[in-house]
Amino acid sequence: MTENHLIPQRVLFGEPAVTAPSLSPSGTHLAYLAPHEDDVAVWVGSLADRDFRPLRDLRARYVEDYLWARDGRHLLYLADHDGDECEHLMAVDLRTGKVRDLTPFPGVHTRVVGLQTRVPDQVLVEMNLEDSGRNDLYRIDLAGARREPVAAEPGLSGWLTDPDLRVRAARRQLPGGGLEVLARDDEYSAWRVLLELDYEDATATSVLGFTGDGKDLLLLSPLGADTVRLLRLSTVTGAVDVLYEDPAYDVTSATVHPVTGQVDLVTVERDRTELIGLTADTRARLARIRESTRGDVTSLGRDLDDRWWLVQDNFDRGPAAFWLFDRVRGTGEVLFTHQPELDGYRLSAVEPFDFTARDGLQVHGYLTFPPGDRAGLPAVLNVHGGPWERNRWGFRAESQWLANRGYLTIEVNYRGSTGYGRRFELAGDREWGGRMQDDLIDAVRHVVGRGFADPGRIAVYGTSYGGYAALVGAAFTPEVFRCAVAVAAPANLRTFVESVPDYWRPIGDRLARRIGDPRTDADFLWSRSPLSRVADIRIPILLAYGGNDPRVPVSEAEQLVKALRANDVRYEYLYFPGEGHGFRKPANVFAFRAAAEKFLAENLGGRWERP
């Protein structure tokens, strides 16, 4: 174990040795992403002989996701161009190596709607064509790539297929941010409304899919409670049954047994992620798995016969491990770890903490200390993006990077974050730059009050919403922070909300309620914009933006840089023309990280890696 040595950026932020493993439907083969010839490729091989080889025609630099088709012969993946988020659905034939574009349209945003075991040679996709204002459905034959339009009512989205790949459920966004869940008996029947949710319930509701018999829908929703529960909705009567709930934390996922079609696993995000078995069999299997693993276990899939389970063991002080468990033999083995080189370095524990905000709300988060002393440390408030997301326990390269450089890392699940119930999430509505920011400041004061952090050496850092919060920290409370790092950060909330991507339009009313409506709240949005208080910024700022970002256009950076220059504020501006919302090209990732850690070292006094 290397004690307190500088962990190279290439180890922390280089391409993982293995990531995103996935079992084939038969359980005989495995795919994963891994480096190959200075790039990233999908590797595929038989679990019997472990002869994994890269698919040379499938590069993953701009692949958002990949998945097995139900025929076990094709791999499907979404790919965009330089981060523009106009994804095409691609298919690679594992026998021939041939790659085809299944959605060859310009400016298309694609989502896979359905893959079903009973119809293994087809896939159903939803496409949002640029400037069309529509979400079109197509059934695509994998062998011939033939596309067949599927009739869909205008205004509907989020379609779901039953086990026979028939489109039988959908969602409709309602004015004011509400939501309807609809169903029909077959693809030729009329739609009927099963459930209508108001804005407060709709924001945290997701429709997972059909049960194995095709009669009921599975939902994650706070309907009838504060926390998100797992619900079963009858497509015949509209009756709702509660399958699992937690009184304090949200259920975040559910897994259906591949044979019975019934839910047998759920995930609850507490201070630690907990995978919970709902049957005697799954509870027994999880108990055996936990005898071998050392962190939080998450399910990555299983085969159609439910013999093989692929799980990830998430550990804060080491690389994630990918395990394969055999139900028949009752044994398990580590297939890979995501970054074996991390084993040679001392990593820091991630410690849950909580505090009471100034208005009495209980707020949770995580602290990651550098090795050694725990008093009077320079600190980085690392704000998560979203903002409708949350920080989780486990290994995170960014937290370990900052701790290794000598900083106490403060991560806060401020109000508006998910996982803590409906009231906590809704408490963030119209609080960008308001009470959400107060929670961050209160977290800093809590940590300073406990003697952990030096109040004169604290930075604020983040991407997307986190970048916005960093700019707000610099503009609204410059006395709290020594410096700020903001990536892909909105600077003017009026122009930001007005310029959301086309595929966000269906949730436009919801965004207006959560952030503010430019048509009626122009002055309010301006008052919460860092650009409105740029004259108050007196701390150094590092900015980084991608030229192809569809969510936070580079015009946000241009407005801010012009104002900073006019007010003689010390700033650095990194512009990456071939990147989107965040950086993916290795040269750009390392260029940003090198600039950021040098910037932090100059202002907080920590360590940095010389080029």
Provide the angle, in degrees to the nearest 10, between the axes of the packed helices 465-476 and 435-449: 70
253 catalytically annotated? no
SS3 of 444, please?
A: helix
CA dihedral sign, ordered 203, 204, 208, 210: negative
Question: What's the one-letter identity of residue 59?
Answer: R
Instruction: Give yes or no: 164 in active site.
Output: no
Across the beta sheet with 39-46, the strand order is 19-23, 29-36, 39-46, 53-59
b/e per residue 237-274 (b: at least 16 CB within 10 A): eeebeebbbbeebbbbbbbbbbeeeebbbbbbbbbebb
> Please, are residues 34 and 20 in contact by the beta-carbon 8 Å criterion?
no
Close Cβ partners of 6 (under 8 Å, ≥ 6 residues apart)? 404, 405, 607, 609
d(CA 575, CA 549): 11
Phi-psi region of 360 (alpha: psi -120 to 50; beta: other; left: phi over 0): left
Sheet holding 119-129, edge to edge: 108-116, 119-129, 135-141, 147-150
Give the residue among 140, 147, 151 at the shortest CA–CA distance from 76: 140
β-pair partners for 553 = none
Catalytic residue among 417, 464, 529, 532: 464
| Cα 280 versus chain centre, distance | 31
Catalytic residue, candidates 71, 216, 250, 549: 549
Q: Is 221 in the active site?
A: no
Alpha-carbon gap, residue 559 to 275, rounded angstroms = 45
Q: Residue 454 class from Cβ within 10 Å (0-12 exposed, 13-18 middle, 19+ buried)?
A: middle
d(C-alpha 92, C-alpha 102), whole Å:
10
Annotated catalytic residue: which of 36, 109, 338, 581? 581
CA distance from start to end of the chain: 24
Exposed (0-12), middle (13-18) or buried (19+): which is 122, by Cβ within 10 Å?
Answer: buried
CB 71 within 8 A of CB 121: yes
**Positions marked active-site:** 464, 549, 581
